[in-house]
Each structure stands twice: as C-alpha cells, then as structure tokens.
C-alpha cells in the first residue's frame, strides 16, 4: 500500500497565525505535499506564502495553474482562486464560490479525495462557520485521514467545532501537537481506496471549471429545492449524500446549510438597508415638496406631503429596527 502523500489544510479567521505555527513545527524531511486553503480577501495580493516561508523549513510557493506537485513542498492558495489537486499537479481555478468563499476549503479537500483517495490527510483549523466539514467527509469517505484542531485551542472555534459534530474525525488535537501528528501519520501506509459516489467528482469538475454550458453530461447533482441561490438567484439543487445536506445551483455556487443561512442573512440586511435608505431619500424629497407647497400657498398639497413624509419616517424606523434585531445564523449551530 502507498503512504499518505497529500496533506490538505483549511483555515479561516485566525488562520494566518495558526498556519505559521503549524508549518514552523514541520521537519525539513517532511515527505508529503501540503496544500493550504486559507480564506482570503479577493482583492490584492496575499503575503501568506512569505509569512510561512519565514518560519518553515519547507519550500513555500503560491502555485501556478498546472504546476507539478512535489513532496516536501507547501502550496498556498492565492486570493480569489480555488486551489485544487489532480494527480501530480496543482490547479488554480476561478470556479464558482462555495459558501461565498474562493478559495474554498471544501473544494480543496474534495479534489484531494477524488484524486488521491486514502492517501490524503485533511486538517481543519480555526475559522468561522463550517467550511471544511463537507470536505473532511469526502476525505473520510475515500478512506483518508482527518485531523481537527481542538476547538478549545482555536482562536475561532466554529470551523473545528462544526467538523466535530459529524462522525468522521480521526484525531482532535491542540495546534501545538498537530505538526508531530502529521509527521507520524504521513509515514504510515494508507489503507485501501474507497470508491466515491460520482457526485463528488462532478462537483470537483465544477470547482475546476472543467465543463462548458453545453456539456449536457455534466448535470448538477441532487434535485431542485424550493430555495434560490443568494449569489445568482437561480434554483438551488439539494444534494443528500452520506446523510448530509448541501446545496448547489446550476451555475455551480455551493452552500452548506450554515453557509446558506449566513448568505441569506447578508441578502436580508442588504435589502433592508436599501429600503431604509430609499425611505430616508423620500423624506428629503417630501420635505422639499412640502416647503414648495407652503411657499405657493397650497395648504392641501402641503398637508399631503407632510403625511407622506411622516409615513416614510415611520417605515424607515421599522426597517432600521429590523436590521438591528435580525438574527444571524449561529456559526456554531447545527448544519
């Protein structure tokens, strides 16, 4: 049997510091390739590869699309690109967002599971919401190994805590213990590969944009739900796989239940904000019309504009109160 030769690591909030600490603890003779998906701002360049290079004994690169995959190297995702795995190479692709993130931890983990099966080790570190949970499920389903940072040790515990709510984690460890754990498990022989359901490969191709709009053979997995995509407005398909639920639209935007609830809250806040601002603009317009009617000695028109202004003021207050009380989906909630 082959050794475990691929390590994929995902992090979000608090991840920059955690990744530096983890990579600083890896030995120079670490035998596996490491790929990192850290949630990044879509604008500007990332200095994360440089920060990790300063503390790591291993070479660190931000790879080009199609770059060869080498053992003992660390590959860090670039802003606004998914980092994905194919046999012996790295893909950097601008595929659809997953949980409104690109790079996506789930996309990286899923691609590693499809390409390398039981030879993959997945690691979820500090972060918000639940990116990485579905990816770990794919890795475990393929026969791979999963490691989760102890939530009590994480700066932001939501990502590791949500991962632990699923029955698929091999190891839970504080950050300080993960480098030694990785050094041990990558030198062990992997178990046999377990064939994955076709849905995983289809979603991997979507993330890599390995299809065209005319590819009738590549159908979005799942069946139509009664929900719409917050990113494009299309119908979301509900995918029920391995006792888990997730959503993906025909464009390819993907959501976990927590991610979808968070995106819906963003849309509600945006809509309420626009409506409240519009009513404030209407108040200014109505006040101008009220002054104009008064100057022209039109008391009936003045009264009408006063009533319209009061109505918009009342509605604006209701909308602003709704924005303040709108409950965001709890980041530690059930998916």
pLDDT single digits (tens) 38-51: 999 888 788 999 99
Q: Please check whether residues 139 and 223 belong to one and the same domain.
A: no
Task: Say if residue 332 is preceded by a cis peptide, omega within 30 of 0.
Answer: no
| 151 domain-assigned | yes
Nearest to 146 by CA among 165, 172, 126: 172
| 282 domain-assigned | yes
| 100 domain-assigned | yes
81 with 103: CB under 8 angstroms?
A: yes
| Span 50-65, pLDDT tens digits | 999 999 999 999 999 9
| 16 domain-assigned | yes
What is the C-alpha to C-alpha distance for residues 318 and 272, in angstroms, rounded to an integer? 10
What is the C-alpha to C-alpha distance for residues 303 and 314, in angstroms, rounded to an integer? 17
Q: Please check whether residues 175 and 302 belong to one and the same domain.
A: no
Which 8-state DSSP code applies to residue 220? P
For the cut 70, the answer to whether the pLDDT of residue 107 exceeds it is yes
**Average of pLDDT values for 181-201?**
95
For the cut 80, the answer to whether the pLDDT of residue 334 exceeds it is no
| 214 domain-assigned | no
What is the C-alpha to C-alpha distance for residues 301 and 306, in angstroms, rounded to an integer? 9
For the cut 90, the answer to whether the pLDDT of residue 12 exceeds it is yes
Instruction: Tell me the pLDDT band of 167, cut-offs 50, 70 and 90.
Output: low
Q: Which residues pair with 245 in a beta bridge?
A: 240
The total domain count for the chain is 3
**pLDDT value, residue 214:** 46
Domain that holds residue 87: 6-185
For the annotated catalytic residues, the residue numbers are: 12, 39, 131
Q: Please check whether residues 317 and 233 belong to one and the same domain.
A: no
The average confidence (pLDDT) of the chain is: 93
Q: Please check whether residues 14 and 162 belong to one and the same domain.
A: yes
156 with 175: CB under 8 angstroms?
A: no
| Span 224-266, pLDDT tens digits | 999 999 999 999 999 998 778 999 999 899 999 999 999 999 9
| 76 domain-assigned | yes
The encoded tokens of residue 116 equal 């390398």
Beta strand 89-93 with 82-86 is antiparallel
CATH code where residue 115 lies: 3.40.50.180
What is the C-alpha to C-alpha distance for residues 194 and 196, in angstroms, rounded to an integer? 6
65 with 94: CB under 8 angstroms?
A: no
Better pLDDT: 106 or 331: 106
**Average of pLDDT values for 189-213?**
89
168 with 137: CB under 8 angstroms?
A: yes
Q: Which residues pair with 33 in a beta bridge?
A: 6
For the cut 50, the answer to whether the pLDDT of residue 89 exceeds it is yes
Nearest to 207 by CA among 294, 143, 114, 330: 114
| 202 domain-assigned | no
| 199 domain-assigned | no
Strands (E), the chain: 6-11, 33-38, 60-61, 74-76, 82-86, 89-93, 120-124, 145-149, 171-173, 223-228, 235-241, 244-249, 254-255
**Average of pLDDT values for 305-321?**
95
């Amino acid at each position: 049997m082959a050794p475990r030769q691929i390590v994929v690591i995902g992090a979000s909030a608090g991840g920059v510091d955690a990744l530096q600490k983890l990579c600083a603890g890896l030995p120079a003779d670490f035998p596996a390739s490491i790929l990192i998906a850290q949630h990044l701002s879509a604008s500007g360049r990332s200095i994360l590869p440089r920060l990790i290079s300063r503390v790591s004994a291993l070479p660190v690169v931000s790879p080009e699309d199609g770059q060869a995959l080498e053992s003992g190297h660390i590959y860090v995702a670039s802003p606004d690109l998914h980092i994905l795995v194919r046999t012996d190479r790295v893909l950097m692709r601008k595929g659809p967002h997953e949980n409104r993130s690109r790079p996506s931890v789930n996309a990286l983990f899923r691609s590693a599971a499809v390409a390398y099966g039981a030879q993959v080790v997945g690691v979820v570190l500090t972060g918000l919401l639940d990116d990485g949970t579905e990816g770990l499920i794919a890795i475990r389903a393929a026969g791979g190994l999963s490691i989760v940072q102890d939530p009590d040790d994480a700066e932001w515990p939501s990502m590791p805590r949500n991962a632990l709510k699923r029955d698929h984690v091999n190891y839970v460890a504080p950050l300080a213990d993960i480098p030694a754990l990785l050094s041990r498990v990558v030198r062990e022989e992997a178990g046999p590969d377990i064939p994955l359901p076709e849905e995983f490969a289809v979603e991997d191709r979507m993330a890599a944009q390995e299809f065209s709009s005319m590819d009738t053979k590549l159908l979005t997995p799942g069946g139509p739900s009664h929900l719409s995509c917050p990113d494009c407005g299309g119908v979301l398909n509900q995918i029920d796989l391995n006792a888990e639920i997730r959503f993906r639209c025909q464009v390819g935007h993907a959501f976990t239940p927590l991610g979808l609830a968070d995106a819906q809250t963003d849309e509600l806040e945006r809509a309420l904000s626009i409506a409240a601002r519009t009513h404030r603009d209407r108040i200014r317009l109505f006040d101008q019309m009220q002054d104009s009617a008064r100057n022209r000695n039109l008391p009936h028109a003045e009264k009408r504009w006063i009533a319209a202004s009061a109505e918009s003021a009342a509605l604006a207050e209701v909308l602003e109160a709704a924005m303040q009380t709108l409950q965001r989906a709890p980041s530690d909630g059930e998916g």
